[in-house]
Amino acid sequence: MHRKFYAYCRSARQPVRSAGRPAGMVHAVRFVLICAGTAGTLMAFSLQKPSLEKVFSRINNEVMQRSRAYETLVDASGVVGHRLTGSPNGTRAEAYAYNLLKSYGFKELRYEPFEVEAWMRDTVTLSIVPSKSDNFREVPVVALAHSPIEAHIQGEIVDVGNGLEGDFAAVKHKLKGKIALVNIGIAAPAQGARNLHRSEKTALAIQHGAKGVIMVNLVPGNVLLTGTASVTGKLIPIPSVCISLESGLQLRQWMQEERSPLHAMIAMSNKSRKIRARNVVATLPGATYPDEKIIIGGHLDSWDLATGAIDNGIGSFAVMDIARTFRALKIKPKRTIEFVLFMGEEQGLLGSKSMVQALKESGQLDKVRCMMNLDMTNDPTGLNAFGRNDMLPFLNDVGEAMKRTEPAFANQMMNQAGLHSDHQPFMLEGVPVVGMNGHLSKEVLDCYHANCDRINLVNEEQLKNTVRYTSMLLYALADADDIPTRRLNDSKTRDYLVAQGLRTPLQIANEWRWKE
**What is the model's pLDDT at position 48?**
63
Angle, CA 11 vertex, CA 6 and CA 14 arms, to 5°: 110
Q: Which residue from 474, 479, 454 is spatially nearest to 63, judged by alpha carbons?
A: 474
Phi/psi region, residue 449 (left: phi>0; alpha: psi -120 to 50; beta: rest), is left
Residue with more model confidence, 45 or 378: 378
237 found inside a domain: yes
Does residue 479 share a domain with residue 429? Answer: yes
Q: Please answer whether residues 45 and 480 qualify as being in contact, where contact means their C-beta atoms are separated by less than 8 angstroms.
A: yes
C-alpha span between 236 and 233 (Å, rounded): 9
404 and 305 housed in the same domain: yes
Structural domain count of the chain? 2
**Cβ pair 480, 46 in contact under 8 A:** yes
Neighbours of 111 (CB within 10 A): 16
List beta partners, residue 33: 372, 434
Confidence (pLDDT) at 188 = 78
DSSP 287: S
Residues paired with 282 in a beta bridge:
109, 339
Same-domain status, 91 and 229: no
The model's pLDDT over 295-344, given as tens digits with 9 standing for 90+, comes to: 999 999 999 999 999 999 999 999 999 999 999 999 999 999 999 999 99
- Closest of 359, 338, 357 to residue 349, by C-alpha: 357
**Amino acid type, 99:** N
Work out the pLDDT band at 11, boundaries 50, 70, 90: very low
* Distance in Å from the first CA to the final CA of the chain: 29
So what's the pLDDT on residue 103? 98
Would you say residue 369 lies in a domain? yes
In angstroms, rounded to a whole number, what is the distance separating the alpha carbons of residues 45 and 483?
7
Q: What is the pLDDT of residue 232?
A: 81
DSSP string, 384-442: E-TT-GGGHHHHHHHHHHHHHH-TT---EEE-----SSTTHHHHTTT--EEEEE----H
Tens digits of residue pLDDT in 217-258: 999 999 999 999 998 888 999 999 999 999 999 999 998 887
Residue 124's CATH number? 3.50.30.30
- Decide if 328 is inside a domain: yes
pLDDT of residue 370: 85
Confirm whether 36 is domain-assigned: no
Tell me the average pLDDT across 447-454.
Answer: 92
Structural domain includes residue 279: no
Q: Are residues 326 and 368 in the same domain?
A: yes
Residues 184 and 93 in one domain: no
Reported confidence tier of residue 41, pLDDT bands at 50, 70, 90: very low
Say yes or no: 206 and 244 in one domain.
yes
Taking a C-beta distance cutoff of 8 angstroms, is the pair 309, 81 a contact?
no
Domain annotation covers residue 99: yes
Reported as a single tens digit per residue, the pLDDT across 184-219 is 999 876 667 889 999 999 999 999 999 999 999 999
Look up the CATH number of the domain holding residue 495: 3.40.630.10
User: Is 337 strand, coil or helix?
Assistant: strand
pLDDT of residue 190: 63
Report yes or no on 32 lying in a domain.
no
- Given its phi and psi angles, is residue 192 left (phi above 0), alpha (psi -120 to 50 degrees) or beta? left
Residue 439 shares a structural domain with residue 492: yes
Domain termination site, one of 225, 246, 272: 272
Please tell me whether residues 238 and 290 are part of one structural domain: no
76, 156: one domain:
no
Nearest CA to 202 out of 236, 171, 226, 175 is that of 236
* Closest among 39, 6, 33, 42 to 434, alpha carbons compared: 33
Cβ(255)–Cβ(159) below 8 Å:
yes
The mean pLDDT of the chain is 88
Question: Is residue 45 a part of any domain in this protein?
Answer: no
Confidence of residue 442 (pLDDT cuts 50, 70, 90): very high
* Contact between 468 and 322 (Cβ < 8 Å): no
Contacts for 221-224 with beta carbons within 8 Å, 24 or more apart? 221/245, 221/446, 222/140, 222/246, 222/247, 223/446, 223/447, 223/450, 223/451, 223/452, 224/140, 224/141, 224/142, 224/305, 224/450, 224/451
110: Cβ contacts below 8 Å, ≥ 6 apart: 280, 281, 283
Residues 316 and 458 in one domain: yes
Residues 263 and 352 in one domain: no
Q: Report d(CA 356, CA 301) in Å as an integer.
A: 18
Strand partners, 295: 338, 371
Domain boundary among 272, 305, 329: 272
Q: What is the pLDDT of residue 131?
A: 64
Q: Quote the domain boundaries for residue 162.
A: 120-188+195-272
Could you give phi then psi for residue 392, rounded to 5 degrees? -60, -45
Q: Which of 56-70, 379-393, 454-468 shows the lowest mean pLDDT across its residues?
A: 379-393
Question: What Å distances lie between residue 512 and 206, 238, 490, 508, CA to CA?
Answer: 18, 23, 12, 8
Predicted pLDDT of residue 65: 98
* Amino acid letter for position 264: A
Task: List alpha helices for 34-189, DSSP H.
Answer: 49-66, 69-79, 88-103, 165-170
Where are any strands of DSSP class E within 160-216? 179-183, 212-216
Residues 265 and 290 in one domain: no
Choose one of 238, 272, 306: the last residue of a domain: 272
Weakest mean pLDDT among 396-410, 424-438, 483-497: 424-438
pLDDT for res 285: 97
Q: Are 430 and 492 in contact (CB under 8 A)?
A: yes
- pLDDT tops 70 at residue 6: no
Q: Is the pLDDT at 12 greater than 50, yes or no?
A: no
Instruction: Quickly list H helices, 221-368.
Output: 245-257, 314-328, 350-361
pLDDT value at 17 more than 70 = no
